[in-house]
Structure 1
Amino acid sequence: MFIQPWDAALDREEWQQWIADGHDFGQLSVNGPAGQAPAVVPTHFTVDGDDLLIHLARPNPVWRAIEQDPKVTFTVIGDYAFVPGPWRAGPALPPTDGVPTSYYAAVQFTCHAHLVDAPEAKAELLRRQLAHFQPEGDHAPVAPDQPPYGRMLPGIRGLRLEVTDVRAKFKYDDHKPVEHREAVAERLTARGQALDEPTARQQRRRLDRMGPWRA
């Protein structure tokens, strides 16, 4: 992932807070066998300390690839929108000369994948995930010897992704003048399609923290 200086995370806390704000679905990318394309699996995940926790169905074809090469990438993308060219035209240019772009936030984790296969270890992984996704606790006990999860545990495998590197990108035209960024955020809010509003919030948040771009 190419990151311009003005697109980089301002600090570690920025991308951590963005993940914590509900960005808990991503894509696991694993190296395929020689001559084959990498495999990509969309899935929810849970943060556990510095690690990521996921589980997948046992028939998933990624297991063989992970066993052969445990170095994987996990990518989370969100708060994205298409920005039309006329919105980005400079004040001295006709609107049709503006060049469109995409706004988005993305965090890429480089990880060493550790397989979780022991029944109690898988149950604990699921308990941690449920504590995140169903904090009300409105679910049956997750235990290897109790239904319904006990009979289902053999059908899944867990992964603890030990994060070895993080690359975070917040692409919101932060190198443009303040007036330009404010105007685009207003237009995104007014358009109100798909993820326009959260995209505008990210642009305004970065603007509040950064102000005018300084190299």
Structure 2
Amino acid sequence: MLIHPWDAPAEDAEWRTWLAAHDFGQLAVNGLDGEPPFVQPVHVAYATGPGAYGEALLHLARPNPLWRALAAAPRVTLSVVDDYAYIPGPWHAPVGAPPEHGTPTSYYAAVQLVGVAHVLDDPEEKAELLRRRLDHFQPDGGTARPAVGEEPFGRMLSGIRGVRIEVTEVRAKFTYGGNKAREVQRRVTGLLARRDGPRDRAARAQQVRRLAAADREP
């Protein structure tokens, strides 16, 4: 993933904060013998520590076809993308230029977690992984915590396998026109508010946040 300097996070806290609120992505696993990679949509719970970049927790059904590929090449990439919007060319036209000279582009935030996947088959390890995921997704309860040999989920543990990704590298970018003149960026924030499409508010919020941070820089 190409990351220009103006799209890079200012510090680790920026991508960590964003990732904490965006927990659905795609797990990419190298295919076997030159086959295309497996790409699995999945909810993931990211947690800080151990290590510099923390870990990501997920589980998949035992019949999933990616297990052989994962055993052969456990180094994986988990990609999360959201807060995206299409920006029409006229919106991005340079100051003083004809609108039709503007270049269309995409705004989006993306975090890629690269690391080593450890497959969990021990029933207690899987139950603990599921409890941690429930603590992330349902901290207020409402669902029984899985326990080995106990209803309602103990008997279901054999049907899944857990995955703990030990994150060794993070690639993050926030593409919101950071290389454009402030006047152009503020023009886009206004036009996003006016269009108010399905993801325009989220994209606009990211752009406004990035603009405010840039304005605070000395």
Q: TM-score, normalised by structure 2?
A: 0.95
Partner of 1:9: 9
Q: Deviations over 1:148-198 (max 9, x none)?
A: 211111100000000000010000011111111111011111111111001
Q: Which amino acid aligns with 1:103?
A: Y
Contact 1:27–1:40 (8 Å) recurs in 2: yes
Partner of 2:113: 109
| Unpaired segments ≥5 residues, structure 2 | 49-53
Q: Which amino acid aligns with 1:136?
A: D
Q: Which amino acid aligns with 2:149?
A: D
Q: Which amino acid aligns with 2:115?
A: C
Q: Which amino acid aligns with 1:206?
A: R
1:47 matches 2:74: no
Q: Which amino acid aligns with 2:67?
A: W
Question: How far apart are the structure 2 equivalents of 1:129 and 1:141?
Answer: 10
Alignment partner of 1:174 out of 174, 178, 188:
178
SS in 2 for 1:184: helix
Partner of 2:101: 97
Contact 1:55–1:158 (8 Å) recurs in 2: yes
Q: Deviations over 1:113-141 (max 9, x none)?
A: 00111001000000000011111111123
1:154 and 1:63, CA in 2 relative to 1: closer, same or farther beyond 3 A? same
Contact 1:176–1:213 (8 Å) recurs in 2: no
Q: TM-score, normalised by structure 1?
A: 0.96
Shift of 1:34: 1.2
Q: Which amino acid aligns with 1:120?
A: E
Partner of 1:126: 130
RMSD of equivalent CA atoms: 1.4
Partner of 1:28: 27
1:81 matches 2:85: yes
SS in 2 for 1:211: helix
SS in 1 for 2:25: strand
Q: Which amino acid aligns with 1:155?
A: G
Q: Deviations over 1:55-103 (max 9, x none)?
A: 0000001111111110000001010000000101113221111110000
Question: How far apart are the structure 2 equivalents of 1:81 and 1:30?
Answer: 27
Contact 1:175–1:213 (8 Å) recurs in 2: no
Q: Which amino acid aligns with 2:25?
A: G
Q: Which amino acid aligns with 1:13?
A: A
Contact 1:178–1:212 (8 Å) recurs in 2: no
| Structural mapping, 1:141-180, within 5 Å | 141-180=145-184
Q: Deviations over 1:2-41 (max 9, x none)?
A: 0111011111000000011x20001100000112100100
Q: Which amino acid aligns with 1:88?
A: H
SS in 2 for 1:34: coil
Moved over 6 A (4+): none
SS in 2 for 1:122: helix
SS in 1 for 2:141: coil
Question: How far apart are the structure 2 equivalents of 1:47 and 1:3?
Answer: 22
